[in-house]
Structure 1
Amino acid sequence: MELNYKVFGEGKPLIILHGLFGSADNWLTIAKDLAEHNYQIFLVDQRNHGDSPHSDEFNYTAMAADLNEFIETHQLERPLILGHSMGGKTVMKFAVNYADKWDKIIVVDIGPKAYPVHHDVILKGLKSIDLPNIKSRGDADKQLSEYVKDMGTRQFLLKNLARDKQGGYKWKINLPVIDKNIENVGEGLEEPLAIEREVLFIRGEKSDYILDQDIILINQIFPNSEVKTIKGAGHWVHAEKPNEVEELMLEFFR
């Protein structure tokens, strides 16, 4: 699958993958900053997200294969790779399945363990929006607010609304397929990495995605890994503490 992407800078290739309901633009600010440090940054829309193609197949094996195809298509020699949340799961799957294709990996606020489905309310809210009849993003926001109370979360989700050719609204994400396959998003990783290559996990102090007890499993699957915690940050670490995330990235890549 030919994924949509944006590229910044020149130098060592670094691929960045967004999380569920996100897109390449989520990492735009950090990408532009890192491009000043001799990196060529590829911000990639994963399948069924952003401007990448839609597919009925939506699981980490397929998304890891997409990433491998992207690397081969662009002839990238052992790139650095970062993934946040769902993107982090894609990157972990890729790391194990294509162990000879990467240099260093950063996984942001997600672990290899299985996660129970916890996006039910968001999915209900998105499906509740009456796309054929809304006249503005404000209408969509009002309908979504019945399910999602946090304004910041709603603004993030509604970035997935786009205009169609008739002047109405459509979803950029493949909402029916994501809804149908939501259990795949929480799938755990069981195979350990067979090589001793470096992996950095970054977690938010206020997030519950990587708990202290999860570090045991992280070390079992990625023997040469470390976990760094960013104080005061929740799950959206890169949005809340971009400077701290950049510092950890640069330090690790050096």
Structure 2
Amino acid sequence: MILAHQLLTAEAQKPDRWMLFLHGILGRGANWRSFARKWLADRAQAGEPDWGAVLVDLRDHGDSQHLSGDRTVTAAAADLVALAKSITQTHGGRIAAVLGHSFGGKVAIAAADQLRAAGLGADELWVIDAPAGPRTEPRDRSTDAVFAALDQLPPQFESRGAFVDALLAAGIAKPIAQWLATNLEEVNPDAEPRQWRFGLDLERISALLRDFTTLDLWPALEAEAAAGARVTLVLGERSQAVFGDELARAQALAEAGDIALATVAGAGHWVHVDNPAGLLEILSRA
């Protein structure tokens, strides 16, 4: 089974180069649609209309349900190798860049490593506000709060609004509750009254997140840089996702010229939502 995805192109042309856009935990490829369209327009304006964007639903997210295999970052990356081969065989071009946010950032590192091993090495690796190494004691516990709230919800709701209200009552911020509501699915569209349920398997998502927090992909990231890929770690100025030894290691690699390190002004963890113009400027400079 190939991952669910959407292809975006500039000026209706057939791209020679593709960028994979990878969402974070509990997200879906559509989270990047608005930004990817702006990025494609920016590339076309800069004289590079040969780029295309691939908005991916990672395993157990969005429409990429019921995939076999382990619930790990490595398995999620292997899915992307299969997707890359399918896209290039069907639509031409090559996977020239991989960009991932948060959980998707670590998947992006693993995918770039596996793509190179398969002879499909990318030119660019963009890790957006994600730690490359283990993060067993995060400073920001908001993800834990979201999982706890979702775990206590009733199995069905009479409307999307009722789902959002239940999360608000559990202390989840309204923008996050509304974003989570994009994962709702109708139980039986032909039945009355209408009923909705959260469409993701929390046990599988939790397994993916546990692997994310313990996996060390600094060696893979450094190997990508050594192989000639342009590796950029982008942080939100107000984010707590990368700190301590993780941040120190990134700064040391940047000072040595091995990777690039950039900060999106005024942004928290959701850098492409908080300051999309700032993130687009960083990608354009590269």
Q: TM-score, normalised by structure 1?
A: 0.89
C-alpha displacement of 1:212: 6.5
- Choose from 47, 52, 61 the match for 2:64: 52
Query: Which region of structure 1 is more displaced relative to structure 2, 227-236 or 71-80?
Result: 71-80
C-alpha displacement of 1:155: 1.2
SS in 2 for 1:153: helix
C-alpha displacement of 1:176: 2.4
Change (3 A) 1:115 1:6: same
The yes-or-no answer on 1:164 pairing with 2:187 is yes
C-alpha displacement of 1:234: 0.2
Change (3 A) 1:190 1:237: closer
Partner of 1:113: 133
C-alpha displacement of 1:54: 2.8
Query: Which region of structure 1 is more displaced relative to structure 2, 103-112 or 204-213?
Result: 204-213
Alignment of 1:229-240 (within 5 A): 229-240=263-274
Partner of 1:81: 98
C-alpha displacement of 1:112: 0.6
Deviations 1:38-93 (A, max 9, x none): 22111111011111123462211101101111111111424211100011000111
Alignment of 1:60-209 (within 5 A): 60-75=73-88, 76-99=93-116, 100=119, 101-116=121-136, 118=141, 119-132=143-156, 134-166=157-189, 167-187=194-214, 188-192=216-220, 193=223, 194-209=226-241
Q: Which runs of 5+ in 1 are unaligned?
A: none
Task: Return the alpha-carbon distance in structure 2 between the equivalents of residues 104 and 47 of structure 1.
Answer: 23
Change (3 A) 1:144 1:186: same
SS in 2 for 1:88: helix
Change (3 A) 1:28 1:104: same
Q: Residue 265 of structure 2 contacts residue 278 of structure 2 at CA under 8 Å; is this kept in 1? A: no
Q: Residue 23 of structure 1 contacts residue 45 of structure 1 at CA under 8 Å; is this kept in 2? A: yes
C-alpha displacement of 1:180: 4.3
Task: Return the alpha-carbon distance in structure 1 between the equivalents of residues 71 and 147 of structure 2.
Answer: 16
Give every structure 1 segment of 4 or more consecutive aligned residues whose post-TM-superposition deviation is greater than 4 Å.
219-223
Deviations 1:137-184 (A, max 9, x none): 222122222333311111112211121234421333222211344311
Query: Which region of structure 1 is more displaced relative to structure 2, 99-108 or 19-28?
Result: 99-108
C-alpha displacement of 1:238: 0.1
Deviations 1:102-159 (A, max 9, x none): 1111110012121127433211211222133x21122212222233331111111221
Q: TM-score, normalised by structure 2?
A: 0.80
Q: Residue 20 of structure 2 contacts residue 95 of structure 2 at CA under 8 Å; is this kept in 1? A: no
Partner of 1:247: 281
The yes-or-no answer on 1:22 pairing with 2:27 is yes
C-alpha displacement of 1:27: 0.8
Q: Residue 21 of structure 2 contacts residue 100 of structure 2 at CA under 8 Å; is this kept in 1? A: yes
Task: Return the alpha-carbon distance in structure 2 between the equivalents of residues 153 and 231 of structure 1.
Answer: 21
Letter of the 1:70 counterpart: L
RMSD: 2.3
